[in-house]
Structure 1
Amino acid sequence: MNRSIASGVLSVVSGKVVVLVVTAISTPLLYRLLGVSQFGEYSFLLSVFAIYMIFVSSGITDGVRKFLAEDRGADNWEAHVVGFYFRLAIVFAITGAALMVVAARFGLVSAAFGERFVPYFYVLALLVITAQFRDYARKTLMGFGLERYSEPLKVLDTVGFVLIAIPLTALGFGVAGALAGHLIASLSVGLAGLYVINRRQSLSSVFTTPSSRFPRREMLTFNSMSIVLVFLLMSLYHVDIIMLQRFRVSSEVGNYKAALTLAEFLWFVPLALQTVYVHSTSELWSQNRYQKISSLASRTTRYTFLLTAVMAIGLAALADVAVPLYFGSDAEPAVEPLILLLPGALGFALARPILAISQGNGQLRYPVASTGVAAGINVVLNFLLIPRFGMHGAAVATSIGYGSMFAFHIVSARTIGFNPLSDARLSQAMATAGLAGLPIFALATAIQNPWIALVVVPPVGLAIFVGFAILLGALEPSEPFEILAIAPDPIGSVAGKLCRRLQTTPGESPIAMGQSLLVAIGLSLLVSGLVLSLVGPGIGMAHP
């Protein structure tokens, strides 16, 4: 990963960490303030809105991010791209808001979802406009390579929502108060983002007509394919919520959304990589640097698997502790759906950076086909399983749909011209997850006090996991420090020195894979047995 891409990833990850922390604090508050049923209605409305906004904004935001990043050498290229997509954003925002008002006014909403949802759609109509310019502003800044501005705006959006929505829901405004938080926060972010863009490239370019050589057809084709791709992708996020609301009560939707929220925490790094890779790899594709792209993709796949797997193992081991403490005792039914969702969440995490690199190529036919097959599997399984098994059926269906994304996008990537598995070391990574998982689960079982378990299991589990990863060859000894080296000083400089020392110091002859696997199996069983026999007998009270 070169330094420019790494710095972009670091900016996005830093912003996403802040957003993750704020979201982690605010979500259980909203769950408690709204109650299970209203939280389910709120989640349903956001799912409907997210799918609707695909047709309003996704082609615009993906297009402006991709084409601004390309160095075409044309006169006033940046100005024409900014102006072209800004004009489209205005037209689509006004049209999208008007159609939503018409649907609410003339009975389409009440016929489809029920009369109680009609007032909310008038608020959503306003949110269409503010969200359009919020997303246009952030993605335009990313296209300029200005993640140092786009990511603070994302933080502002999240913090602004929380500061407005939490007091309003606490005062009794319910779902309308939560939606008002989104509306005011997105308006603020949109205005701030447009101001920053205007300083880089005047928005008066909206009135400038580019020459006939400007690639309008190419851009519109990319836009239409992006809309299809994002629609299929977002259906994987939201079709289960919408179907649950159709076949089950709102309280079940609320608990299922609680499980989804925790599962989606696994994606914050893969989503950061996807955010940066679309425009960063567009430049690599334009320079025909195929070997560099394959190297980047395969290392990303390996790191993503290891990071997401250790988080999934820890979350599964602590699920019966974390869910009730986080959301409250009413959310205990969410534990089993959460565990069912985790394998698929891992597969989806692996697919996201691969999809982003494919998008950077601009040939969306194969990514669309791969995502379409996974989305189709997801819809069919949800339709078959939800009426009979409720949120457990939704979790199984969605997990299978999520997981299939990885397999299908591997095929898509190879068809496009890069190999995400060339240095992924999947066999070593899977062995690491399986063998490290035993002592991590043993430790979570042995520590019976929930608060002690939450404090002890994550860091000890991470150390165990990294140790097995190095032993089995999923990680080189220098690689953890190589990743930390891109962090700000003093962490970055210290990690860089350690990385160089490990890379230049001759090590012992590596253990053969068969021998190291036998050693790892023995260690896994030994550590698990020691934990259960020595730690278990006396730490605290039973799990709730």
Structure 2
Amino acid sequence: MNRSIASGVFSVVSSKVIVLAITTLSTPILYRFLGASAFGEYAFLLSVFAIYMIFVSSGITDGVRKFLAEDRNAANWSEHVVGFYFRLAVVLAVVGALLLVVAAQFGLVALAFGEGLTIYFYVLAALVVTAQFRDYARKTLMGFGLERYSEPLKVLDKVGFVAVAIPLVYAGAGVMGALAGHLFASVLVAAVGLVIVHRRVSLSCVFSRPTARFPRTELLTFNSLSIVLVFLLMSLYHIDIVMLQRFAESSAVGNYRAALTLAEFLWFVPLALQTVYVHSTSELWSQNRHRKITDLASRTTRYTFLLTAVMAVGLAALADIVVPLYFGAEAEPAIEPLLLLLPGALGFALARPILAVSQGNGTLRYPIAATGTAAVINVVLNAILIPRYGMHGAAVATSIGYGTMFAFHCWSARLVGFDPLADARFGRVILTTALAAVPIVALSTALSGPWLALAVVPPIGFLIYLIFALLVGALDPAEPFEILAVFPEPIGSRAESIRSRLETRLGGETSRNWVQHLLFVAGLSLLLSGLALGVLDGGV
């Protein structure tokens, strides 16, 4: 991973960590203030809105960051791209908002979702406009490679939402108060973001028409295919919520949404990679650097698998502690759906960076076919399982749908022109996960007291997992420091120095074998300790 891509990833990951922390604190507060039933209505409305916004904004946000990143040798290319997508954003936002108002006014919303939800769609209509320009501003900045500005805007969006929504919900405004928080935050971020864009490229370009040589057809074709791709992708996120609302009580929807919220914590690094790779790999594709792309994609697959697998093992081990502490005792029914969702969430995490690299190529028919196949499987299984098994059926169906994304996108990637498994070391990562899971689960079971388990299991579990990863060769000894080398000073330079020394000292096979023998002893002792802890706990 070169430093420019790494710096973008670091900016995105940093913001996602902050957003994750804010979300971690605010979500259970909203759940408690709203209650399971109202929280279920709120989750349902956001799912409907997210699906609707695919047709309003997805082609614009993907297109503006891809084509700005290409920086073609054409006069005023950036100005023409910014202006073209701004005009398109205005038209689609106005049409999208008006359609929602008409649907609410003439009873279509009441017919589809019930009279009680109609009032909320007027707020969603306003949110269509503000969210459109919030996302346009952020993705435009990303297209310019300005993640240092676009990502703090995401933090501002979350802070603005929490600052307004939590007090309103606490005061009794309910779901309307939560939606008002989204409306305020999107207005704030859109205003600040457009000011920053204007400093880079004057927004007066909105009123200037590009020349006849400007590739409007290419941009619109990419937009149309992006809408199809994002629709299929987002259906995997939201179709289970929409279908569950039809067949189950709102409290079940709320608890299922709680389980999804925790499962989706596995995605924050893969989502950051996906966010950056679309526009970063566009440049590599334009230079025909296929070997570089394969190396980047396959190592990313391996690192993503390692990171999300250890998170999944830890979350599974602590599920019966985390869910009631995080959401309250009312959410205990979410524990089993969470465990069912984790395997699929891991597969979806692996698929996301691969999809982003494919998008960077611009050839979307194979990613669309891969995502569409997974989406069809997801819809069919949800339709079969939800009526009979409720939220447990939704969890199984969604987990299978998520998991198939990885297999289908590996196939798609090869057709696009890169191999995401070239250096993935898939068998070794699976072995690492299986070996490390034993002491991690045993440790979480043996510790008495939920707070002690939450304090001890994550850091010790990560250390155990890292040792096994080095033991079986899923990670080379120098690779952790290679990753740390892209961090800001003073971490970066010190990690680079350690990495260089390790590569020099461990370059020989004898030295490498000596290290692996040492790690084998440490790993075996950890495994035996885990088994002993499990036996002792069972005896007690």
What TM-score does the superposition give when structure 2 sets the normalisation length? 0.97
AA in 1 matched with 2:223 = N
User: Partner residue of 1:482?
Assistant: 482
| Contact kept? 1:13, 1:272, Cα under 8 Å | yes
Question: 1:498: how far off?
Answer: 1.5
| Contact kept? 1:445, 1:536, Cα under 8 Å | no
| Contact kept? 2:297, 2:357, Cα under 8 Å | yes
**C-alpha distance in structure 2 between counterparts of 1:524 and 1:367, whole Å:** 41
Q: How does 1:176-325 map to 2 (within 5 A)?
A: 176-325=176-325
Q: Summarize the Cα distance change of 1:400–1:516 in structure 2 as closer, same or farther, 3 Å threshold.
A: farther
| Contact kept? 1:435, 1:520, Cα under 8 Å | no
**C-alpha distance in structure 1 between counterparts of 2:344 and 2:511, whole Å:** 37
**C-alpha distance in structure 1 between counterparts of 2:518 and 2:407, whole Å:** 28
Deviations 1:397-430 (A, max 9, x none): 0000000000000000000100000000000000
- Corresponding residue SS for 1:475: coil
Deviations 1:77-99 (A, max 9, x none): 00000000000000000000000
Range with greater deviation from structure 2 (491-500 or 503-512): 503-512
| Contact kept? 2:71, 2:78, Cα under 8 Å | no
Deviations 1:277-301 (A, max 9, x none): 0000000000000000000000000
Question: 1:501: how far off?
Answer: 1.4
| Contact kept? 1:165, 1:179, Cα under 8 Å | yes
Q: How does 1:288-437 map to 2 (within 5 A)?
A: 288-437=288-437
Deviations 1:200-247 (A, max 9, x none): 001111111111110000000000000000000000000000001001
Deviations 1:482-522 (A, max 9, x none): 1112122222222222111111113535459x999997985
| Contact kept? 1:314, 1:461, Cα under 8 Å | yes
User: Partner residue of 1:13?
Assistant: 13
**C-alpha distance in structure 1 between counterparts of 2:125 and 2:473, whole Å:** 53
Q: How does 1:504-519 map to 2 (within 5 A)?
A: 504-506=504-506, 508-511=510-513
Q: How does 1:114-193 map to 2 (within 5 A)?
A: 114-193=114-193
**C-alpha distance in structure 2 between counterparts of 1:520 and 1:410, whole Å:** 35
Deviations 1:445-466 (A, max 9, x none): 1012111000000000000000
User: Partner residue of 2:470?
Assistant: 470
| Contact kept? 1:435, 1:524, Cα under 8 Å | no
**C-alpha distance in structure 2 between counterparts of 1:141 and 1:72, whole Å:** 17
User: Partner residue of 2:530?
Assistant: 528
**C-alpha distance in structure 2 between counterparts of 1:460 and 1:165, whole Å:** 37
**C-alpha distance in structure 2 between counterparts of 1:521 and 1:10, whole Å:** 31
**C-alpha distance in structure 2 between counterparts of 1:202 and 1:5, whole Å:** 26
User: Partner residue of 1:101?
Assistant: 101
Q: Summarize the Cα distance change of 1:393–1:300 in structure 2 as closer, same or farther, 3 Å threshold.
A: same
Question: 1:190: how far off?
Answer: 0.3
Question: 1:159: how far off?
Answer: 0.5
AA in 2 matched with 1:454 = L
Deviations 1:461-486 (A, max 9, x none): 00000000000000011111111121
Which structure 1 residue ranges, 5 or more long, are not aligned? 539-544
User: Partner residue of 1:542?
Assistant: none
| Contact kept? 2:270, 2:352, Cα under 8 Å | yes
- Corresponding residue SS for 1:213: coil
AA in 2 matched with 1:526 = L
| Contact kept? 2:467, 2:523, Cα under 8 Å | no
| Contact kept? 2:470, 2:519, Cα under 8 Å | no
Q: How does 1:74-113 map to 2 (within 5 A)?
A: 74-113=74-113
AA in 1 matched with 2:436 = A
**C-alpha distance in structure 2 between counterparts of 1:192 and 1:180, whole Å:** 19
Deviations 1:281-329 (A, max 9, x none): 0000000000000000000000000000000000000000010000000
User: Partner residue of 1:541?
Assistant: none
**C-alpha distance in structure 2 between counterparts of 1:487 and 1:521, whole Å:** 29
Question: 1:523: how far off?
Answer: 4.5
AA in 1 matched with 2:247 = F
Deviations 1:344-378 (A, max 9, x none): 00000000000000000000000000000000000
Q: How does 1:25-40 map to 2 (within 5 A)?
A: 25-40=25-40
Aligned CA-pair RMSD: 1.8
Question: 1:197: how far off?
Answer: 0.4
**C-alpha distance in structure 2 between counterparts of 1:532 and 1:383, whole Å:** 40
AA in 2 matched with 1:458 = P
**C-alpha distance in structure 2 between counterparts of 1:535 and 1:489, whole Å:** 45
**C-alpha distance in structure 2 between counterparts of 1:374 and 1:65, whole Å:** 26
What TM-score does the superposition give when structure 1 sets the normalisation length? 0.96
- Corresponding residue SS for 1:74: coil
| Contact kept? 1:438, 1:524, Cα under 8 Å | no
**C-alpha distance in structure 2 between counterparts of 1:527 and 1:21, whole Å:** 33
Which structure 2 residue ranges, 5 or more long, are not aligned? none
User: Partner residue of 1:73?
Assistant: 73
